[in-house]
Structure 1
Amino acid sequence: MQIVTPELGLIFWQLVIFGIVLLLLRAFAWKPILSSLKERESSIDDALRMADQAKLEMQQLKAGNEKLLADARMERDRILKEATEVSNQLIETAKTKATEEGGRMIVQAREAIQNEKNAALAEVKNTAAKLSIDIAERILRRELADQPAQQQLVDSYLKEVNLN
């Protein structure tokens, strides 16, 4: 049973060696391990704080982007509305101009037609007058070919003049 029960000297030396190892570990290993743990803990805390800050910044950017999108949509709608109004004005202006131009062209066409009609009537009258004069001249030549017929015509004209 000696192997199982340790002696007092063995326990003493084990305690002394354990104490020395404990002091050496505390002096050389424990402080660096604790400092690296504290350093790791602080870096994790910093990383978490930075992540929260980044999350807040992302939310602010998202809100800003949504505001920009809303503003862009409003601007687009305003521009489309203005473009529609301008196109409607252009259409109305074109219709008005076309109506005025059509009316002016109709008036000009009527005037041209009237002028052509008057010219045609004048030409017809001139032609009719020329024909009448030619016919009258031919009739008078044939009727007044001899002297007694001329005398008789002059007498009849004088009688008509006196009667009127």
Structure 2
Amino acid sequence: MNDELVELIVDSKRGKNFHYFAAKRKAAVFTLLVVASTVINALISSKVLSDFESIRYLSMLAAICSGVVAVLKLGHMSSLHVQIGNAYVSVYRDLRLLRARCNSGLLTMVQLEKEFALLLRDYKKAAAMSSQAPLGFIDNWARVLGQLGRRFSTKLFGAADL
């Protein structure tokens, strides 16, 4: 039981980190594309440019920026990653508390198994939510195109991560 508890603690921390970093990346790309589109549209509407050809290309660039934001749903995906990360944090904290109570002898094996089962259920809910939010840029495009599945990191964590 102790090995399963430690494994779930490590996995919860890994899930939290993956989703928080994905939220930061997607929020940054979202902000960059929205600001670029806004600046380009402001430049076009200010009539600073008189060359029709440059206005045409800038309009196309602004449309591409807006289209990428709309298709990839970057704002929504960023907030979804934060929500999933928060679910993993909750499980991670509760598991560490459970481990501390177990190590101090405050729990019987029956109590430990019961609480572990509840936390495992919460972990599985967070993992199920993860399927709605791909972690990488390629995975996000794959979700849109419907061609590729999710990819996970194989990075190993040590005892310091517990």
* TM-score above 0.5, yes or no: no
TM superposition score normalised by structure 1: 0.30
TM superposition score normalised by structure 2: 0.30
Higher relative contact order (CA 8 A, sep 6+): 2
Q: Which structure would you say has the larger Rg?
A: 1
